[in-house]
Amino acid sequence: MLLRGVDVAEPAKFLVEWGEADVEAQLARVRAYPFPRTPMVEDGWAYGCDAQFLKDICAYWTSAYDWRAAVAELNRFPQYTIEIDGLDIHYVHLVGEAAGKRPLILVHGWPGSHFEFWRAAERLAFPSRFGGSPADAFDLVIPSLPGFGFSGKPDRPIGQQQTAAMFNALMTRVLGYERYFAQGGDWGALVVSWLGHDYPQTVAALHLNMMAFRPPVNPQTEDERRFVAQSRKAIAWFGAYQHLQRTRPQSVAWLAAGNPVGQAAWILERFHDWVDLGGRELTDVISRDHLLTNVMLYVMTDSFTTGAWYYRGLVDERAGQGEPSHRIETPTAFADFPGEPQVKSPPESWIAGAYNLVRHSKMERGGHFAAMEQPEAFADDVAAFFREQSLTPR
């Protein structure tokens, strides 16, 4: 159900505060974890999270990971919570060189977090610090999805269209922006797409690094048919987690509860499968500290269960609302990162069938977690697209 009359309160300043006793309790569980039998095969990732990788990162987690430094890093940007329709929404609000004039909401997905955008945030808010132009600066709003991180935990799954309604209320009614830009990947791409679909009067332009909506017609060209077939094959191979979380998310919640190693393995397997490795190890692409901080945002906030629920939220919401009713006419850019495994290189005609596509960038490197993997290229493409867009109503 869309939120038409959203009730909002006043924002409260927020700081990450993890108590030593709480952290040590989780680390004790990591140390005591009884690693199960693993298949003796050459590629340990072929059956799930690689055993040796998991043992190594758990050893680092319990002996060298500086969780206090991670807390300080998470507190580096101003952040707040606000109650919207009865649920607390956590968000970073980084007013950069744009000084209130160019708002941009960045929306993460699963199994990521608002922390995905940390390495790109300053480039977007303060481009002159990196040799760019202050004219390209944004006011950044980086929320945590409902049920994720420091946002409130709903009593039942929430879907992406409802999230879009909440985030539009955050941008307009809470922060007072009349018009704004939006960027997203993974679930963020679907939330941002719903923003463009439902709120074209407030959302000026969209930047996506994953395609979320399909055209309203069947594939028309050989390239489109090949893309759809390849996508189905990729989802069949990589998508076991997705099928479970869309249908029986509580089943994985029972297994993961009180089990930080199990949660880490489930999350890190997705990172390994979805980043652009290019022959490298996962920790050569994203550092152990960044990977573990992202895991801690699930473990320390009890978000693993409600994060998994977000998949069922799609199913429940679509059952009541149906598919998108029309092509999104909001100007849209698509950044095609070549390491993306599940939605590989959609043909331009396929994207344009669902969106008013005005920019299609073929990126050199990077995968699913674009802002973490290639923060400079990500920020440059975002800035280049929105440089050509206006916040003035069409």
CA atoms within 13 A on the CB side of 254: 5
Sole residue written with tokens 């320390």:
300
d(CA 243, CA 35): 25
- Does the residue 283 lie in any domain? yes
The answer as to whether 18 is a domain residue is: no
For residues 195-212, one letter each, b for 16 or more C-beta atoms within 10 angstroms of the residue's C-beta and e for the rest, the string is bbbbbeebbbbbbbbbbb
Domain for residue 21, yes or no? no
**Residue 257: count of CB within 10 angstroms of its CB:** 12
CATH code at 83?
A: 3.40.50.1820
248 lies in a domain? yes
The confidence score (pLDDT) of residue 321 equals 63
Q: What is the pLDDT of residue 2?
A: 32
Q: What is the pLDDT along the chain (394 residues), one digit of tens a residue?
A: 233 445 556 899 999 999 999 999 999 999 999 999 999 998 999 999 999 999 999 999 999 999 999 999 999 999 999 999 999 999 999 999 988 889 999 999 999 999 999 999 999 999 999 999 999 999 999 999 999 999 999 999 999 999 999 999 999 999 999 999 999 999 999 999 999 999 999 999 999 999 999 888 888 898 888 888 888 887 777 778 888 899 999 999 999 999 999 999 999 999 999 999 999 999 999 999 999 999 999 999 999 999 999 999 999 988 766 567 779 999 999 999 998 876 677 899 989 999 999 999 999 999 999 999 999 999 999 999 999 999 987 6
Question: Which residues make Cβ contacts (< 8 Å) with residue 144, sequence separation at least 6?
Answer: 89, 90, 91, 108, 113, 114, 150, 151
HEC readout, the chain: CCCCCCCECCCEECCCCCCHHHHHHHHHHHHCCCCCCCCCCCCHHHHCCCHHHHHHHHHHHHHCCCHHHHHHHHCCCCEEEEEECCEEEEEEEEECCCCCCCEEEEECCCCCCHHHHHHHHHHHHCHHHHCCCHHHCCEEEEECCCCCCCCCCCCCCCCHHHHHHHHHHHHHHHCCCCCEEEEECCHHHHHHHHHHHHCCCCEEEEEECCCCCCCCCCCCCHHHHHHHHHHHHHHHHHCHHHHHHHHCHHHHHHHHCCCHHHHHHHHHHHHHHHCCCCCCCHHHHCCHHHHHHHHHHHHCCCCHHHHHHHHHHHHHHHHHHCCCCCCEEEEEEEEECCCCCCCCCCCHHHHHHHEEEEEEEECCCCCCCHHHHCHHHHHHHHHHHHHCCCCCCC
Q: What is the pLDDT of residue 5?
A: 47
Write down the pLDDT at residue 4: 41
Q: How many structural domains comprise the chain?
A: 1
Residue 38 lies in a domain: no
Neighbour tally for 21: CB within 10 Å? 7
Residue-range definition of the domain harbouring residue 319 = 48-387
Furthest CA-CA distance within the chain: 61
Partners of 191 in beta bridges: none
Separation in Å, CA 67 to CA 14, 23, 264: 18, 8, 15
Structure tokens at 125: 């808010």
Query: Is 288 within 8 Å of 65 (Cβ atoms)?
Result: yes
pLDDT of res. 250: 94
What pLDDT is stored for residue 3 in this prediction? Answer: 39
Which residue type does 157 have?
P
Phi, psi angle pair for 286, to nearest 5°:
-130, 125
Strand order in the sheet with 87-95: 12-13, 79-84, 87-95, 139-143, 103-107, 180-184, 203-208, 328-336, 355-362
